[in-house]
Amino acid sequence: MKRTQSSNRLVQWIDDRLPIFSYADQNVIAYPTPKNLNYWWNYGSIAGIILVIMLVTGIFLAMNYQPNADIAFASVERIVRDVNYGWLLRYLHMNGATMFFIVVYIHMFRGLYFGSYKAPREILWMVGVTIYVAMMATAFMGYVLPWGQMSFWGATVITNLFSAIPVIGDYIVVWIWGGFSVDLPTINRFFVWHYLLPMILVMLVVVHLWALHVHKSSNPLGIDIKTPQDMMPFHPFYTIKDLYGLGLFMIVYLFFVFFYPNFFGEADNYIPANPMVTPPHILPEWYFLPFYAILRAIPDKLGGVIVMFSGVLILYVLPWLDTSKVRSATFRPVFKQLFWIFVADCLFLGWLGARPADGIYLWLGRAATFYYFFHFMVLLPLVGKLEKPKPLPSSIYEEVAKKCRAKED
Amino acid sequence: MTDNPTNTPEEMDGDRRDFLLISTTTLGVAGVAMAAWPFIHSINPAKDVLALASTEVDLSAVEVGQAITVMWRGKPVFIRHRTAEEIQSAEKVDVGELRDPQTDADRVQKPEWLIAVGVCTHLGCIPSGQSLGDNRGEYGGWFCPCHGSVYDTSGRIRKGPAPFNLAVPPYTFTDDTTIMIG
């Protein structure tokens, strides 16, 4: 362990016993980062900051929220109407969830495009997928808490997915509910999980960063760091770049918070939960729509649930499905096109998830679902073998220098 | 600095960078401080809580010598319809010998009605003395069972550890027999 560079005696004394200063220096200040990171590398830090915003707004919302089926809906309305700045806390939290998913999806597609999941960063990627799964569980349970119609029926539909499990499915669902329907015990335990899971999420993020700092960030060229010339200290170069990106992101986020706070929500969720009436158009939050489309594409209860969960879990084995040794799509002409087709397929699935589940939409959903898995299970392994990648640059430093010279000319 | 003719371009740039760093940091700290306020303020009493901050009490059924306790802002308020002797004993006290000097006239709007917050000023217990059988202490007012503070018929501290008299809440007589506390 390196000693701290500070000449302050107190800093040295503390650092000798608890090396927080040298740790911060190695991991934040002098932390070596590839010189050529572009703005797609901003989304990791933005995601981390939204997580903090979600935690802080969530903690303060919890101080006024009542996890009781009889008064939960009224307590959320009280937060918005009576609690000082309660409307701000709630809309920051609601829209924060949406922004969290947008940012994490961009972060994930960044990884897909630039091959960030490849050796030696497989575990880093898998921890990231786990974070994503934990996020989905947290978001789902959070959506149940306001106890509107969409909350109630979303909870009913999603928990009923587990009834597809053969033999013990019905018992599992009753166990999850703590009763014979989504009711008082359900909202109480969902509140506990919604509060607990983010703490686990924070720990997963620490593990994610731990793994990241072993082999450092990947980069747009996808080639390894070879010499110190390939790198820059994280501070001030990337702290400033991250802050700039954060500023732009906050403008978008706060635009929705202040002007269109319910843009991403469903009007039906302002109707108190009614176990006797299902709303005519029941659909999940937008960030679940692609998986919802996959679920509905399969004409079998158990099959649909299995395929839907596979759609997420297949990401865990992605590092071994992609057989190409070249990381960045920049040097993979065929993969690059397939990547954008895959992005389009995901967006298309999302669009289909919000359409009614019959007629032409059903068949389009099946085609898009088929292609989703075809991309992972057939195209990725084959293209890696058949494609002829472009020649890779010899070093990050040379490419950066070449670009600088081109700019000067 | 600028009047130093030996400044090199690097040093000039250093000044500019210092300015940028300090102004950016200042703006950032100010922004976070302003963003913190909604969070801090959100756990202050909400509007529905403030709306319950006043209590109306009908006194017409309280006989002379009787006392009632009403709830105001989550705390008990003692209302005692004092007898002539109680008023007299409260008024004749030498203010100079009191721990928290206050005349009886300062503590009541109408001498027959003593209205005080029923929370001992020592550590927040509720003194006894509202019911006729209660221990009212040697001054005929209230006696706090927790640590033995003794209050007189004006709710003033006379003995024991409490530092102040029982607080008089803000109240107004909306008519002869009705008060609005708060």
- Cβ-in-10-Å burial (0-12, 13-18, 19+) of A285 comes to buried
Task: Pick the closest to residue A181 from A153, A215, A213 (CA basis).
Answer: A153
Distance between the two ends of chain A, CA-based, in angstroms? Answer: 44
Mean of all residue pLDDT scores within chain A: 94
Bridge partners, residue A100, by sequence: none
Q: What was the pLDDT predicted at B97?
A: 87
Distance CA A211, CA A278 (A): 45
Residue B39 forms contact with A (CB below 8 Å)? yes
Choose from B18, B27, B32, B42 for mutation: most chain A CBs within 10 A: B42
Distance CA A29, CA A308 (A): 42
- Which ranges of chain B does DSSP label H, i.e. alpha helix? 9-42, 47-51, 84-91, 104-107
pLDDT tens sequence across B125-137: 999 999 878 889 9
Interface size between A and B, measured as CB pairs under 8 A = 35
Phi-psi sector, A115: left (phi>0), alpha (psi -120 to 50), beta: left
Give the count of beta carbons closer than 10 Å to the beta carbon of residue A83.
27
Q: What was the pLDDT predicted at B2?
A: 46
SS3 B116: strand
The answer for residues whose C-beta is within 8 angstroms of residue B180's C-beta and 6 or more apart is: B54, B55, B56, B57, B171, B172, B174
Q: How far is CA A7 from CA A10, A233, A234, B18, in A?
A: 9, 21, 22, 21
> Encoding tokens for residue A246?
């954060």
Would you call B42 and A84 a contact, using CB atoms and an 8 Å cutoff? yes
The minimal CB distance from A85 to the residues B38, B48, B49 is found for: B38
The answer for residues whose C-beta is within 8 angstroms of residue A235's C-beta and 6 or more apart is: A28, A29, A30, A31
Residue B44 forms contact with A (CB below 8 Å)? yes
SS3 B114: strand
Distance CA A206, CA A197 (A): 14
One-character DSSP codes across A307-326: HHHHHHHGGGGHHHH---S-
Q: Which residues of A are catalytic?
A: 213, 217, 241-242, 285
Distance CA B138, CA A273 (A): 60
pLDDT tens sequence across B24-78: 899 999 999 999 999 999 999 999 888 878 889 999 989 998 999 999 988 999 9
Chain B residues in contact with A63 (beta carbon < 8 A): 42-43
- Which residues of A have a CB under 8 Å from any CB of B? 56-57, 60, 63-64, 78, 81-86, 88-89
Task: Pick the closest to residue B38 from A254, A245, A51 (CA basis).
Answer: A254
Distance CA A225, CA A243 (A): 24
Residue B38 forms contact with A (CB below 8 Å)? yes
Cα Rg for chain A, rounded, in angstroms? 24
> Encoding tokens for residue B36?
């913190």
Which pLDDT band holds residue B8 (cuts at 50, 70, 90)?
Answer: low
Task: Pick the closest to residue A369 from A303, A318, A298, A313 (CA basis).
Answer: A298
Instruction: Judge contact between B114 and B78, C-beta under 8 A.
Output: yes
Kindly give the parts of chain A with pLDDT less than 70.
Answer: 1-3
Would you call A88 and B38 a contact, using CB atoms and an 8 Å cutoff? yes
* Residue A81, min C-alpha distance to chain B (Å): 8
Which pLDDT band holds residue B1 (cuts at 50, 70, 90)?
Answer: very low
Chain-centre distance of CA A89, in angstroms? 21
Whether B81 is catalytic is no
Q: What was the pLDDT predicted at B12?
A: 61
Distance CA A188, CA A134 (A): 19
Task: Pick the closest to residue A363 from A354, A352, A376 (CA basis).
Answer: A352
Bridge partners, residue B69, by sequence: B78
Distance CA A81, CA B48 (A): 9
pLDDT tens sequence across B73-121: 889 999 999 999 999 989 988 888 899 999 999 999 999 999 999 999 9
Whether the CA torsion A233, A234, A240, A244 is positive or negative: it is positive
* Position A369, amino acid: T
Whether residue A236 is preceded by a cis peptide bond, meaning omega within 30 degrees of 0, is yes
